[in-house]
A and B are shown apart, each in its own frame.
Chain A
Amino acid sequence: MANLESIGKYRYRLSKTYREGMKSDGRIYANEKLLEAITKDQTLDQVANVAMLNGLVGDSIAMPDAHQGYGFCIGGVAAVDPDEGVVSAGGVGFDINCGVRLLASPFEVSDIRPHVDNLLEELFKAIPCGTGKEGKRKLSEKEIHDVLQNGAQWAVQQGYGEDIDVSRIEENGTIKSADATKVSNRAKQRGIKQLGTLGSGNHFLEIQVVESVFDDEAARVFGLHEGQIVILIHTGSRGLGHQVCTDYLDIMQQGLKKYKISLPDRQLACVPVRSEEGEGYLKAMAASANFAFANRQMITHWTRGVFNRLLKNGNLRLVYDVAHNIAKFEKHQTDKGEREVLVHRKGATRAFPKGHPDVNEEYRGVGQPVLIPGSMGTSSYVLAGEENSMRESYGSTCHGAGRAMSRKKASRDISANELLQQLNQKGVKVRGASKRGLTEEQPDAYKDVESVVDVVHEAGLSRKVARLIPIGVIKG
Chain B
Amino acid sequence: MSESYRILEHTADIGFEAYGATREEGLANAAIALTSIITDPDSVAVKNKHTIEVSAGDWEQLLVRYLNEVLYIIDGESFLPAKADVKLQEDYSLIAVLYGETRTEDHDVRTDVKAITYHQLKFEQVNNGFIVRVFVDI
Contacts and interface: CB of A to CB of B under 8 A. Distances in A.
A and B: interacting chains: yes
B119 A71 contact: yes
Interface string A227-259: 000000000000100110110011001100000
A131 B60 CA distance: 29
Contacts of B57: 254
A189 to B, nearest CB: 6
B135 to A, nearest CB: 7
A65 to B, nearest CB: 11
Interface of B: 7, 9-14, 38, 57, 60-61, 64-65, 68, 72, 75-76, 78, 103, 109-112, 114-119, 121, 135, 137-138
Nearest to B103: A132
A201 B112 contact: yes
A113 interface: no
B78 to A, nearest CB: 7
Interface in A62-91: 67-71, 74
Interface string A45-61: 00000000000000000
B119 A243 contact: no
A354 interface: no
17 contacts: A41-B11, A68-B12, A131-B110, A132-B109, A189-B76, A190-B72, A190-B76, A200-B111, A239-B76, A242-B137, A265-B118, A265-B119, A266-B118, A406-B12, A408-B7, A408-B9, A436-B111
A304 interface: no
Contact of B78 (A132, A186, A250, A265): A132
Contacts of B60: 266
Contacts of B137: 70, 93-95, 242
Most buried by A among B38, B112, B121, B138: B112
Counting from the closest, the 10 A-B pairs by CB-CB distance are A266-B118, A403-B12, A267-B118, A94-B115, A242-B114, A70-B117, A70-B119, A131-B109, A94-B114, A406-B9
Contacts of A69: 12
A243 B117 contact: no
Given A406-B9, A408-B9, A434 B76 contact: no
A267 B111 contact: no
A131 B115 contact: no
Nearest to B13: A68
A67 B11 CA distance: 9
B105 to A, nearest CB: 9
A407 interface: yes
Nearest to B77: A189
Given A132-B78, A267-B117, A186 B72 contact: yes
Contact of B75 (A95, A190, A408): A190
Nearest to A46: B119
Contacts, number: 100
Given A70-B137, A242-B114, A407 B119 contact: no
Interface in A358-392: none
Interface of A: 41, 67-71, 74, 93-95, 131-132, 186, 189-190, 199-201, 239, 242-243, 245-246, 249-250, 253-254, 265-267, 269, 403-409, 434, 436-437, 440
Contact of B11 (A68, A186, A266): A68
Given A189-B76, A200-B111, A250 B12 contact: no
A71 B115 CA distance: 13
Contacts of B61: 250, 253
A246 B121 CA distance: 15
A67 B121 CA distance: 19
B115 A246 contact: yes
Contacts of A405: 11
A199 B12 contact: no
Contacts of A200: 111-112
Contacts of B14: 406-407
Contacts of B109: 131-132, 434
A190 to B, nearest CB: 5
A201 B38 CA distance: 12
A415 to B, nearest CB: 16
B114 to A, nearest CB: 4
A323 B60 CA distance: 32
Given A239-B75, A267-B117, A407-B14, 15 more contacts: A41-B11, A68-B12, A94-B115, A94-B137, A95-B114, A131-B110, A131-B111, A132-B112, A189-B76, A190-B76, A242-B115, A243-B76, A253-B61, A407-B138, A437-B111
A363 to B, nearest CB: 32
A199 B114 CA distance: 11
Contacts of B11: 41, 67-68, 403-406
Contacts of A71: 117-119
Contact of A436 (B7, B9, B110, B115): B110
Contacts of B72: 186, 190, 243
Nearest to B61: A253
Contacts of A245: 115
Nearest to B121: A266
A71 B11 CA distance: 15
A406 B11 CA distance: 4
A171 B3 CA distance: 51
Contacts of A41: 10-11
B76 A186 contact: yes
B76 to A, nearest CB: 5
Given A68-B11, A68-B12, A403-B12, A246 B76 contact: no
